[in-house]
Chain A
Amino acid sequence: MAHDATHAHDDHGHAQPSGIMRWLTTTNHKDIGSLYMWFAGIMFLIAGTMALVIRAELFQPGLQVVDPEFFNQMTTLHGLIMVFGVIMPAWAGFANWQIPLMIGAPDMAFPRMNNWGFWLLPVAGFLLVLTLFMPGGGPAGGWTMYPPLFIQGGISYDLTIFAVHILGASSIMGSINIITTILNMRAPGMTMMKMPLFVWTWLITAYLLIATVPVLAGAVTMLLTDRNFDTHFFNAAGGGDPVMFQHIFWFFGHPEVYILILPAFGVVSQIIPTFARKPLFGYASMVYATASIAILSFIVWAHHMFTVGMPATAQLFFMYSTMLIAVPTGVKVFNWVATMWKGSMTFETPMLFAIAFVCLFTIGGFSGLVCAMTPVDIQIHDTYYVVAHFHYVLVSGALFAIIAGVYYWLPKWTGHMYDERLGKLHFWLSVISMNITFFPMHFLGLAGMPRRYADYALQFAEFNAIASVGAFLFGFSQLIFLYLIIKAIKGGQKATDQVWEGAEGLEWTVPSPAPYHTFETAPVVK
């Protein structure tokens, strides 16, 4: 793609607030992108520590470290924070930093709404952590908030519902901003089918968010009224239907899975062509595959609840519709491999994480197909097989793509190259420890170990011990990543404007680090 770009090279020195007020009042997309990323990083440390508490308890059978009630609080908050406080804000951070740079826009369409959208997040994050200090402790009913447990709990459950409302409001503001920015602020010549894949995947993700977040907001509000105002939407004692909550939740929840993973597809689709030094194979089919996955995500929700009981026709419908998702996903995996085929590949850290994503996400996809089969799912539902499946999708899928994206764009953000040697060490430790942690869980699940229990039968001891060792190794490996980021922010080898030899796109035409204001006059994309 050829383009003529003009941009401001200085910060103009406009009178801007400094110190904490700069960050509280900023409307600059790069500042807000950084805030999202730091928020996600902090929440990752919190939710990651919770995961280590879980794995410490599961290192041996019997109760060793925490009591079962606290264990359940840890599993609930780990899930809620990782989904709403880590992966989603991290993608919002990428969107804020990269979308305007990639489409040649000076900022987001609604910069003030962007600021509000971010600053709601720390409030919600604080409320979620605060629940642990409430009478009775934090919520322990699972991240899916199912009644009757979520109707019966203490005040921390109300706080959790409130936090989910705030997170939803933040997501809606972010999504509206992203959709309007992408559609209305593209540089002249940047037609829809010339947009970078990351922009496309975020456009579709934002659409999914707008369509599904009101469903979640309504569902948790009905939980709240059941808890506090004697309504009986989901309260079986009053004639309500707790199973309906599961239907409503997963009508939101399954598209939510794609909200977490579609931007990952976008990042990987940027990284692989750069380091294979070839254009992305099948660009148009990638766009259509992303849209197909998004559309299918609305009609598969009940595969999460085969065991609650449903007619055989419904089981068949949800089984086949779920399997259908493998088709567009397969198109994507094929295209990534075809992009690498006969490419002049080099293996810098972002590429290593992207390749690991392709391999390991595919394993998560295959185990998803296993879970999609109704008769099989009835056996493995709520076992560690499912835990293994979604961690392959969310850790080696979403999280690895986030890490790959950070390594890829960090030189553009900070102006300095990261330490490649430490980056590779981080990669190998992460990829090995991730597999040590989650691969044995397949065996545990197939052998019948249920999830969300603090104790287990002796027969599961070895694989649990291996998984716990892997989890601690994975957790501490991430400190290398934190160190690398801080090191790159503070200094290091100066990054060039293009940074990577094979990188193409508008973001690589601006200096490194990207100036505070970019594309104030339109670049023309040819």
Chain B
Amino acid sequence: MPLALDTSPQTEQDRFSFFSRPNCSLTRTERDRVFWGIATVTLLVASVFSWLGYWLILPFAGIEVGVLAWAFAALGSNAGDYESIRIRGDEILIERRHGGHLESRTLNGKWVKLVLVGARPGGKVKLALRSCGRETELGAYLTDEARLELAKALQTRINAG
């Protein structure tokens, strides 16, 4: 599970907001710099040996740089992921970005039901909001304890609304 940040729900008067995202300590620029720093040295060494006639080093260097590129691309694709919940009056706006794909859903607070499954010791906690027969799962970047906390805060806010 990715490390989550900014996970405490903020409540003031009739407003509620919650934001979480996986932790990425590497920016895109840093990621590019590190990748090219490693790839350049590796490919340069392999190229010099190839130039001297010992070309079988180059395919191994190429495969390795390819795997490295995949690894950095995988990190990059999730770098902008986040999940946010905002409540203003009766309107609940859920927004989730995952791997560059943005999903959002607006629910009516009066017609929504909070679903909490497995909230017992030993069970994996599933938290979702159900409306019009469709469930939207929440707390993708949270631990079970944090999901329970979020459920409590959401329930209080929905009941109050």
Contact = CB atoms under 8 A, between A and B. Distances in A.
Interface of A: 8, 10, 12-14, 104-107, 109-110, 168, 172-173, 176-177, 179-180, 183-188, 190, 207, 210-215, 217-219, 221-222, 225, 233, 244, 248, 251, 519-522
Contacts of B144: 8, 12
A214 B68 contact: no
Given A210-B38, A214-B60, A233 B143 contact: no
B60 A187 contact: no
A105 B54 contact: no
A97 to B, nearest CB: 18
Nearest to A189: B25
A12 B122 contact: yes
Contacts of A215: 45-46, 49, 57
Contacts of A225: 56
A173 B70 CA distance: 12
17 contacts: A106-B1, A172-B67, A185-B3, A185-B24, A188-B23, A188-B25, A212-B45, A213-B64, A214-B60, A214-B63, A218-B49, A218-B60, A221-B56, A221-B60, A520-B143, A521-B4, A521-B142
Contact of B25 (A184, A210, A211, A519): A184
A168 to B, nearest CB: 8
Given A13-B123, A210-B68, A218-B61, 15 more contacts: A12-B124, A13-B122, A172-B67, A173-B67, A176-B67, A176-B71, A180-B72, A185-B23, A190-B25, A210-B64, A214-B42, A215-B45, A520-B1, A520-B3, A521-B143
B68 A176 contact: yes
A360 to B, nearest CB: 33
A173 B30 CA distance: 21
A522 B5 contact: yes
B25 A183 contact: yes
A172 B64 CA distance: 7
B124 A14 contact: yes
A145 to B, nearest CB: 15
A185 B30 CA distance: 13
A218 B58 contact: yes
B100 interface: no
Contacts of A219: 54, 57
Interface of B: 1-5, 7, 23-26, 30-31, 34, 38, 41-42, 45-46, 49, 52-54, 56-61, 63-64, 67-68, 71-72, 74-75, 121-124, 142-146
Most buried by B among A110, A180, A214, A217: A214
Contacts of A105: 3, 23
Contacts of B2: 106
Given A185-B23, A185-B25, A222-B54, A217 B71 contact: no
A184 B27 CA distance: 8
Top-3 shortest CB links A-B? A218-B57, A13-B122, A214-B60
Please classify the interface of chain A as helix (H, G, I), strand (E, B), loop, or mixed, using the class held by over half of its residues: helix
A184 B26 contact: yes
| Best-buried of A186, A210, A213, A251 by chain B (most CB within 10 Å) | A210
A210 B66 CA distance: 12
Given A105-B3, A188-B23, A248-B54, A218 B46 contact: yes
Residue of A177, A180, A244 most packed against chain B (CB within 10 A): A180
Nearest to B72: A180
Contacts of B42: 210-211, 214
The listed residue with most A CB atoms (<10 A of its CB), out of B3, B38, B42, B124, is B3
A30 to B, nearest CB: 15
Nearest to A213: B64
A184 B3 CA distance: 11
A233 B3 contact: no
Contacts of A172: 64, 67
Contacts of B7: 521
Contacts of B60: 168, 213-214, 217-218, 221
A522 B4 contact: yes
Among B34, B41, B53, B143, the one with the most A-chain Cβ atoms within 10 Å of its Cβ is B143
Contacts of B74: 110
Contacts of A521: 3-4, 7, 142-143, 146
A13 B124 CA distance: 8
